Structure formats: C-alpha cells, structure tokens
Amino acid sequence: MKNAIPILTVLLALVVIWYLAAIGMNSAWVRDQAARAGTELTTTELVKQTLTLERPVLPAPHQVAAGLWDGVAGQKITSKRSLVWHGWVTLSATLTGFAIGSLAGILLAVGIVHSRTMDQSVMPWAVASQTVPILAIAPMVIVVFASAGITGLLPKAIIAAWLSFFPVLVGMVKGLRTPDAMQLDQMKSWSASGGQVFWRLRLPSSMPYLFASLKVGIAAALVGTIVGELPAGASAGLGARLLSGSYYGQTVQIWAALFAAAALAAILVIAIGRIEGVTLRRMGLVR
C-alpha cells in the first residue's frame, strides 16, 4: 500500500491536466459564440462555460462522471439508454467467447505438448498469428453471419473466442513445458504413467502461465467484442454506444461508454487475478 500516495498524486495530476485541456480545447467554441452574440466574456465566465457545454470537444471529468452515473444509475436497467444494459450485452458475448476460446486453446495446447507432429505443424502458425492484426476480420464475421440470418451474441462471441484463443494457446504450451528434465526423470523413476505425469506434474506447474495468458485473453476478448459491435446495424453493446455517439457528436456519451468499457476490462482482469490468487494459494504456489 506504500504505492497509494504516488498513484493518487499521479491520478490527481492527470485530472488537473484534463481540466486544463478541457478549458483550452473548448474555449475556441465559447469565444466564437460570445463574439457572435457580441458579448465580452470575463475569464471566470469563460472557464465556467467551457466546462458546461452540451457537446464539448473534450468533456470535463465531472461531465463524464455525470454521464456515467446517469447511464448506470439514472436509467432503468432494461432501458436502451442504460449503460448497465449495454454493458451486459457486451459482457455476455465476451464471456461466452472467452470460455470457448480459452477452452479450445487449453485443449490444443495439451495436444501440442503430447504430439510432436502437432507441435511442429501448429505452433509456428500460432506464434506467427500473434503478429497479425486478426481484429480486422471482425466486420466480415459479423456481416457473413448476418447474411446467414445469425445475429446477436454468437458472431461477437466467435470474434472474442478467436482473439483469446491464441494467447491462451501459446501461454499454456509454455506452461505445460515448464517441468524440467529433472522433474520429468523423477516422475519416470516413480514409473508414473503418461496421465499421471500430465495431471500431477505438467498441469499444476502450468497454472501461473495459464492465468497470465487468461488475463491477456480476456482483455483481447473484450476488445474483440467491442469492435464486433461497430459494424452498422448493431444497436446494442458498448461498441454500438461508441459508434452512435461518434455519429451524433455526443462526446459525453462516447466518454461515458469508454469509461464503462475500461471499468468492465478492469473488473474482468481483477476477477481473474482473484481466481489466480485463490488457486495458487490452495496449490501452495504462493508468490
């Protein structure tokens, strides 16, 4: 907790910079309005007006906070203006896709560790795929599924699954390979079967790697879902909220959706961190 004070200081500095930037970036518009109305503005009035615009270039932190509060608590949860509702749409697709993608990644990793052919065939492509902006396929997946009559959760979940699949695969292969020759020899001298080596040595020692890659995977899954909500026609989800905000110049709405997405990402990553902590502690692998 000795980091609390530095972190708070930096955050405070960021908020101050944000306010100054908001005043600076919005002042041109305010001055313009005043000149058109033929009125002179005092500095206090100028500052006051820049921080209360309806469609500011950069909304001030308190405006974003108000927008966020209004979206989370000010609406009925079933309302289309509720951020909780949009967040749930995004979250459900993210979690579905993440579950599919990480499960597939883990299974394939098990196969790769046990089959040299699979290792040499699949691994180079899995590693290379991380240098490729896979996210670019998102709009196509959405449209192709829509033309087949499938909309809603499934296409987005597939993008999320695809994005979380590769990090989990690569991390899990690395994890399953951590036992060194000495440990493997030890298992052999106990004449352990292949299954025993896997369940009692490889799988437990892969856990730290698995959780590290799950964190990367769920963040990627969320980004994938949000981008999957961008193509025209999507009306639900945080991505759609971003897009409609950018169409209608509703900057406060964009920022509120952005912060909601950030909060969602933080909650997901922290949740996995918690599960990681509990699991590793029960396994005696406390760090």
* 285 sits near another protein (criterion: CB under 8 A): no
* 173 sits near another protein (criterion: CB under 8 A): no
- Altogether, the residues listed in the chain come to a count of 287
Sole window of 43-51, 116-124, 184-192, 276-284 interacting with another protein (rule: CB under 8 A): 116-124
Residue from 173, 175, 255, 276 in contact with another protein (CB under 8 A): 255
* 234 sits near another protein (criterion: CB under 8 A): no
Q: Cα–Cα distance between 49 and 111 in angstroms, integer?
A: 63
* 226 sits near another protein (criterion: CB under 8 A): yes
Give least dist CB 182 to another protein, A: 19
184 Cβ contact partners less than 8 Å away, ≥ 6 residues apart = 197, 201
Indicate the residue type of 189. S
61 Cβ contact partners less than 8 Å away, ≥ 6 residues apart = 15, 18, 19, 22
* 1 sits near another protein (criterion: CB under 8 A): no
Taking a C-beta distance cutoff of 8 angstroms, is the pair 265, 222 a contact?
yes
Structure tokens at 70: 């209004």
In the complex with another protein, which residue's Cβ is closer, 150 or 283?
Answer: 150
* 256 sits near another protein (criterion: CB under 8 A): no
Residue from 121, 151, 186, 235 in contact with another protein (CB under 8 A): 121
Residue from 33, 79, 120, 151 in contact with another protein (CB under 8 A): 120
* 125 sits near another protein (criterion: CB under 8 A): yes
Q: Cα–Cα distance between 69 and 12 in angstroms, integer?
A: 20
* 68 sits near another protein (criterion: CB under 8 A): no
30 Cβ contact partners less than 8 Å away, ≥ 6 residues apart = 41, 46, 49, 50, 53
* 109 sits near another protein (criterion: CB under 8 A): no
- Where do the H-state alpha helices sit in 149-237? 153-176, 181-189, 194-196, 203-228
**Strand ranges in the chain using DSSP code E only, listed in sequence order:** none
* 267 sits near another protein (criterion: CB under 8 A): no
Give the footprint of another protein on this chain (CB under 8 A): 2-3, 6-11, 57, 115-117, 119-125, 128, 130-133, 135-137, 139-140, 143-144, 147-148, 215, 219, 222-223, 226-227, 230-232, 238, 242-243, 245-246, 249, 251, 254-255, 257-258, 261-262, 265-266, 269
